[in-house]
Structure 1
Amino acid sequence: MGNQPSSPQPGTKLQVIGAGLSRTGTASFSEALHILLQGPVYHGGTQACLGPPVEIKSLIKILDHFPPKTSSEKVLLLKLLKERYDGYAAVTDVPAYGLVEELLEVYPDAIVICTTRDPEAWVKSLGALQSAMTFAFLRFILFPVTGMRHFVTLVNGLTRQWIFRYGERPLDTRTYELHMEYLQRVVPKEKLVFFDVREGWGPLCKALGRPVPEGVPFPRINDAEAIERETKGMVVKGLVRWLVFFTTVGVGGLSWFLLK
C-alpha cells in the first residue's frame, strides 16, 4: 500500500517477481521498479484496495485455486496468473510472494527479488497489520463499498495461503525464516536476489543491470501510514454509505406510515 494502482500496458514483459513479504518495504520497492523498468508494477495490496473491483475479485479467484489439487487445476491456476499479471513489468506483495514457484513457470525469464527487513521489526509491524485486517465487523462495514465488500474474502484466501506455506503457527521470526527457506528451495540460486530498501538504488540497479537514475531519490513510502490512512478512509466510506442507506429507508418508512 502507499502508491497508486496501475494499469497493464499490452506488450510489457514481466521482468521481476517481488518475493518480499508484506511490510518489508514493498511499496517503496514497487515504485523503484516502476522508475527503473519504465512500466507498470502490480503491487497486490494497492491493486486490491484502491483498484477497480476486478482486481480484488481476480486475486480471490487465484487464491480459490491454490494450492491446486489436480493437474487440471494447476493449469487453470497458471492461466489465471498469466491473465492477471500480463502487461506488467513486475509484481510485488500479496499474493505473489507465496506464488513464486508458480509465477516462475509462467514467467521463466523473470528474476526474483525478495525485499528484506529485520525479522523482529517485521513481526511487530505485520502483527499490527494482521490485527487491523481481521476485525469481525469489517465485512459488514465495507459491504456498501464496491470492491471492498470482498475484502474479508480476500483476507480469508490469504490466510489459507499463509497456513499452507508456513503452517498454523503464531507469527514469529521463524515464520520469516520459513519464507526465506521456501524461496531458496524453489528459486534457482542465480535468479534469487535479496534486497533491503534502506540500501537505496545501488544494489537494486546492479541486480537489474540498470544505471542509477540521475537526480532521482530512492522512493520512501511509509507503508504503515498509508495502510492506516487507507483503512480509515474505507471504514469512513462504508459508514457514510450505511448512514445514507438507513436515513433513506427511515425517511421512506416514515412517509409510508404517515400516508397509511
Structure 2
Amino acid sequence: MPLKIIGAGYGRTATCSLRTALEKLGYRTHHGRYLVLGPTEHIDIWTRAYQDPNHEDEWEEIYKDWDAAIDWPSMTFYKELIQKYPDAKVILTVRSAESWYNSMCKTIFKDIFHVKKDEVPHHIWRVSELCRMIMFDGDEADLENPERTKAKFMKIFDDHVAEVKRIVPPERLLIMQLGEGWEKLCPFLRVDIPNEPYPNSNSAKEFGFDELVEIVRNRELQKSETSGITEIKEPSKVEAVQA
C-alpha cells in the first residue's frame, strides 16, 4: 500500500500526538510504539535497510498494512521513502533542540537504550539494538553528565531539521511546531477539522516504557502456553500511555 504521509521528525517531537491525530483522520499510522508492541515487526528488514545502502526494496512488506509512517524507525529513512512514494506528503514535527534533548534523556536514552538483555523479552531487546543503531549510529547521551553531550545532540537535532527543509520540496512539506494542531494539520491534508481537541499525550512523565515491556512479556507468555496466539489487545489503561 503506498504511503500517503511520511514523518521526518525525530521522536520526542509530539509524534505520538500526531499519530493519534492521523488515526482519528482515518490514516493507519506506523509509529515507534508499534515497533515495540508489534509481534510481526520486520526488525531484520529495518536492519538490512540501514546497514546496506544498496539493499533490496522491501518497503512494501513493511508498510503493507499502513498508509502513514512517522517517528523512528521510519523517519531514519525519510529520504529514501520520499523517493519511493513521490505522492506522499511529509510532516516535520519540531520543538526547541534543548527541550528535545532533555526529553530524550528522560525517556529513550534512559529506557530503550539501556535495557538489559536478560531482563526483557527477546523482542524488546531486538528493538533496543535496532534503535541504538539507527538513531544516532550507536551514539548516545551521557546520562550521568547530560550537559557533556548536550551541545552535540542539539546540533544533531538542528542539522536534521535544516536538512529536511533543504531536501523536501516545500509544496510537500508541513512543519508542525510543538503545540500546533488541527488548524495546521488539516488544511495541509485537505480534510475537515474534527470537532474535538487535538490530541495531547506522551509527556516524558507518561512515556510508559515499563508498561509496554509488560504487554510484550505477557503476550510472549501466553504464546508459549497457547499455540496460535499472535496478537493481544493492549489493556485500556495503557492505551492512553502513548509511547
Query: In the alignment, what sits opposite 2:69?
Result: 91
Query: In the alignment, what sits opposite 2:207?
Result: 227
1:152 is the counterpart of 2:125: yes
**Equivalent residue in structure 1 for 2:24, among 35, 50, 62:** 35
Secondary structure of the 1:120 match is helix
Query: In the alignment, what sits opposite 2:227?
Result: none
Which amino acid in the other structure matches residue 20 of structure 1?
A: G
Instruction: Please show how residues 19-30 of structure 1 align to structure 2 within 5 Å.
Output: 19-30=8-19
Deviation of the 1:123 alpha carbon: 0.5
Query: In the alignment, what sits opposite 2:40?
Result: 54
Deviation of the 1:220 alpha carbon: 1.4
Task: Quote the Cα distance in structure 2 between the aligned partners of 1:184 and 1:193.
Answer: 10
Query: In the alignment, what sits opposite 1:131?
Result: 110
Which amino acid in the other structure matches residue 118 of structure 1?
A: S
Unaligned 5+ runs, structure 2? 142-148, 222-243
Deviation of the 1:68 alpha carbon: 2.1
Cα 1:136–1:90, aligned 2, differ >3 Å: closer, same or farther? closer
Secondary structure of the 1:199 match is coil
The structure with the largest alpha-carbon Rg is 1
Which amino acid in the other structure matches residue 88 of structure 1?
A: W
Task: Quote the Cα distance in structure 2 between the aligned partners of 1:190 and 1:67.
Answer: 31
Q: Kindly, what percent of the aligned residue pairs are identical? A: 26
Unaligned 5+ runs, structure 1? 1-11, 144-148, 243-260
- Contact 1:60-1:153 at 8 Å conserved across structures: no
Cα 1:225–1:65, aligned 2, differ >3 Å: closer, same or farther? same
Cα 1:185–1:157, aligned 2, differ >3 Å: closer, same or farther? farther
Which amino acid in the other structure matches residue 186 of structure 1?
A: I
Which 4+ runs in 1 deviate beyond 6 A? 166-169
Query: In the alignment, what sits opposite 2:4?
Result: 15
- Contact 1:82-1:106 at 8 Å conserved across structures: no
Which amino acid in the other structure matches residue 27 of structure 2?
A: G
Task: Quote the Cα distance in structure 2 between the aligned partners of 1:64 and 1:151.
Answer: 18
Deviations 1:48-107 (A, max 9, x none): 2222x211xx034312331424x3x2xx1x32x221113322111111111101111221
Which amino acid in the other structure matches residue 39 of structure 1?
A: Y
Which amino acid in the other structure matches residue 9 of structure 2?
A: G
- Contact 2:17-2:201 at 8 Å conserved across structures: yes
Cα 1:82–1:185, aligned 2, differ >3 Å: closer, same or farther? farther
- RMSD of aligned residue pairs (Cα, Å): 2.7
Query: Which has the larger helix fraction?
Result: 1
Query: In the alignment, what sits opposite 2:135?
Result: 162
- Contact 1:25-1:197 at 8 Å conserved across structures: yes
Cα 1:208–1:238, aligned 2, differ >3 Å: closer, same or farther? closer
Deviation of the 1:184 alpha carbon: 2.7
Secondary structure of the 1:154 match is helix
Deviation of the 1:223 alpha carbon: 4.3
Task: Quote the Cα distance in structure 2 between the aligned partners of 1:39 and 1:175.
Answer: 30
- Contact 1:27-1:221 at 8 Å conserved across structures: yes
- Contact 2:113-2:131 at 8 Å conserved across structures: no
Query: In the alignment, what sits opposite 1:188?
Result: 169
Cα 1:152–1:185, aligned 2, differ >3 Å: closer, same or farther? farther
